[in-house]
Amino acid sequence: MKNGREKFWTSVATYAALVVICALAMIPLLWMVSTSLKSDAQIVESPPRWMPEKFAWSNYRLAISSEWAHFPLWTRNTLIIATLAVIGTTFSSAIVAYGFAKIRFRGRGLLFTLMLSTMMIPFPVLMVPLFSIFVWLGDHTPIQWLGTARPLWAPSWFGSAFSIFLLRQFFTTIPDELSEAARIDGCSEWGIFWRIMLPLSRPALSVVALFTFMWAWRDFLGPLIFLQRPTQYTLALGLQTLQSQHGSTPWNQLMAASVLVILPVLVLFFIAQKTFIEGIATTGMKG
């Protein structure tokens, strides 16, 4: 019986620890929502209350419509960048991943290692030369780069190492017999990729799309460097301007704005939860 009792107490302790950790994870978020619904007077109230006496929805309205905030515009900009980045990354990474997974050629292993090692290069190392490359491109091509969103999404049309890796892992699990059969039927390599591989890879493609979207939604340093006018800002950059002038933006409105920035991501997460978790889990599996 001793064993049974010990097991019981172990699971009680585990349970208690999990409840405490979950509370610590959630309290800041709940506090944010609570603050976002409080009136100016209630924020400073002591002792603080979790449930606002009367919901001050006006904080949300004020945050969105304050003079130098362009929330609808920022949301639009973010969505445009994110969409272009998602389409570009998913499409181009899939093409490259197919090459790495299904075509045997000399130097493939070496190139793959090279690609993986680029993941270690920190963005700050690249940002100064990238900036000057986009300046140069602006001077020597008819397309304007700096001060537009182009530098933020154009590079993603050339594949991202992380997504290529993820998709390659998936492609290698698809048996070669399928493509062999198609090849005998006279299908071109591109046809095999387009008509056989892609339809079979929907789960992996959605992981890549989801991650790219999340990354674009939260990216800060990129927009900070390349965007110039407040009307071009993304939500992350916009919220930053809102909060850095926070002498004039009260906490309840800041919290309301933050809730609005988080909400779409949370909704997306709950819709695609399974895809998400499995995707992250596979990133650690390179061994």
Partner 1 sequence: MTRGEIRSLLKGLAFLSPWLIGFAVFMFLPIVLSMYYSLCDYNLLQSPAFIGAENYRSLIHDGIFWKSLRVTLLYAAISLPVGLVVSLGVAVLLNASVRGQSVFRTIIFVPSLVPTIAAAVLWKWMFNQRLGLINRALGPLLELLHKSPPPWLDQSAWVIPSLALMSIWSVGNTVIIYLAGLQDVPRELYEAAELDGAGKRRQLWHVTIPMISPVIFFNLVMAIIGILQVFDTPFMMTRGGPNRASYFYTYYLYDNAFTYLKMGYASAMAWIQLLLVLGLTGMAFWSSKRWVHYQGK
CA distance 9 to 40: 47
* CB 198, min distance to partner 1, A: 13
Q: 3 or 185: whose CB is closer to partner 1? A: 3
Taking CB under 8 A as the binding criterion, the range among 29-37, 51-59, 165-173, 175-183 that sits at the site for partner 1 is 29-37
Q: 80 or 146: whose CB is closer to partner 1? A: 146
* CB 29, min distance to partner 1, A: 7
* CB 171, min distance to partner 1, A: 11
145 lines the binding site for partner 1 (CB under 8 A)? no
* CB 259, min distance to partner 1, A: 8
CA distance 210 to 282: 14
49 lines the binding site for partner 1 (CB under 8 A)? no
- Identify the residue among 90, 201, 232, 258 touching partner 1 (CB under 8 A): 258
Cα 159 to its chain centre, rounded Å, is 15
The neighbour count for residue 43, using CB atoms within 10 Å, is 16
143 lines the binding site for partner 1 (CB under 8 A)? no
CA distance 122 to 128: 12
105 lines the binding site for partner 1 (CB under 8 A)? yes
271 lines the binding site for partner 1 (CB under 8 A)? no
Peptide bond into 250 cis (omega under 30): no
Residues 195-254 binding partner 1 (CB under 8 A) are 214, 217-218, 220-221, 225, 235-237, 239-240, 243-244, 251, 254
Backbone angles phi, psi at 192, to 5 degrees: -60, -45
CB 80 within 8 A of CB 149: yes
* CB 194, min distance to partner 1, A: 12
Strand, helix or coil for residue 7: helix
Backbone angles phi, psi at 126, to 5 degrees: -90, -20
75 lines the binding site for partner 1 (CB under 8 A)? no
The neighbour count for residue 3, using CB atoms within 10 Å, is 7
Taking CB under 8 A as the binding criterion, the range among 61-69, 124-132, 178-186, 194-202 that sits at the site for partner 1 is 124-132
- Identify the residue among 9, 32, 187, 204 touching partner 1 (CB under 8 A): 32
CA distance 229 to 90: 29
Backbone angles phi, psi at 15, to 5 degrees: -60, -50
* CB 225, min distance to partner 1, A: 6
- Identify the residue among 49, 61, 76, 108 touching partner 1 (CB under 8 A): 108
255 lines the binding site for partner 1 (CB under 8 A)? yes
Tokens of 91: 């499409």
Q: 29 or 181: whose CB is closer to partner 1? A: 29
44 lines the binding site for partner 1 (CB under 8 A)? yes
Strand, helix or coil for residue 51: coil
CB 50 within 8 A of CB 64: no
